């Protein structure tokens, strides 16, 4: 649409003048917003490309990072041997595995039982295995180390020492020395 000159606008009625002026203001604002949208779309495309580049870079190195995690991450399993009524802990990473004899069922019950109220303590194998795993996981860095060739090295090998370290860490959820 052709733009009217100021002289042409002055000839019009007051209502028509206001309508033309309002239309011109809207048109000017529309142009500004259109430029802003173009600018934002360019920024959006640029950010999207940068984001996709980061994703591709992460995918390229993720397998290498997984290998590093697998070498340093240690899984802990606590097993109960029914034949001998004993508990054994197995520490394992991708390069090595170490076993730790924890003790007989009665010794574990006696050792852990003092830290729980009688109504909280369950001497079932499942309860004891989960509690032992929680204890060993929380103080893992104090009882294990990993050598430069990714082998697991045991620092503490006795249940009494492990319980003492856990006690010193202050991680007991419950404490009852006088059942």
pLDDT in tens, the chain (179 residues): 667 777 776 777 778 878 878 888 999 999 999 999 999 999 999 999 999 999 999 999 988 887 777 667 789 999 999 999 999 999 998 888 999 999 999 999 999 988 888 888 888 999 999 999 999 999 998 899 888 888 888 988 899 999 999 988 887 766 555 54
| Nearest CA among 155, 124, 120 for reference residue 140 | 155
* Residue 41, both tokens: 């779309």
| pTM assigned to the model | 0.60
What is the SS3 assignment for 52? helix
> Where do the DSSP E strands lie in the chain?
75-81, 86-92, 97-104, 144-146, 152-154
Cα(110)–Cα(108) distance, rounded to whole angstroms? 5
Give start and end residues of each alpha helix (H) in 73-169: 105-113, 125-138, 140-143, 159-169
* Residue 70, both tokens: 């697998």
Cα(30)–Cα(48) distance, rounded to whole angstroms? 26
How many Cβ atoms from other residues are within 10 Å of residue 49's Cβ? 10
- The answer to whether 105 and 161 are in contact (CB under 8 A) is no
Q: Could you state, in order of their start, the residue ranges of all structural domains in the chain?
A: 12-71, 75-169
Q: What are phi and psi of 78, to 5 degrees?
A: -115, 125
């Amino acid at each position: 649409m052709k733009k009217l000159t100021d002289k042409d606008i002055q000839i019009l009625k007051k209502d028509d003048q206001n309508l033309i002026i309002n239309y011109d203001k809207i048109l000017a604002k529309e142009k500004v917003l259109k430029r802003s949208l173009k600018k934002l779309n360019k920024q959006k495309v640029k950010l999207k490309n940068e984001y996709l580049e980061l994703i591709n870079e992460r995918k390229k190195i993720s397998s290498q990072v997984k290998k590093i995690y697998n070498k340093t991450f240690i899984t802990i399993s606590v097993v109960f041997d029914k034949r001998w009524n004993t508990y054994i802990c197995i520490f394992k990473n991708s390069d090595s595995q170490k076993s730790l004899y924890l003790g007989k069922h009665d010794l574990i019950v006696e050792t852990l039982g003092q830290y729980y109220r009688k109504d909280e303590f369950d001497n079932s194998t499942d309860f004891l295995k989960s509690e032992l795993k929680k204890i060993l996981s929380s103080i893992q860095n104090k009882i294990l180390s990993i050598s430069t060739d990714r082998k697991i090295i045991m620092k503490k090998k006795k249940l009494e020492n492990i319980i003492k370290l856990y006690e010193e860490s202050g991680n007991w959820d419950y404490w009852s020395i006088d059942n």
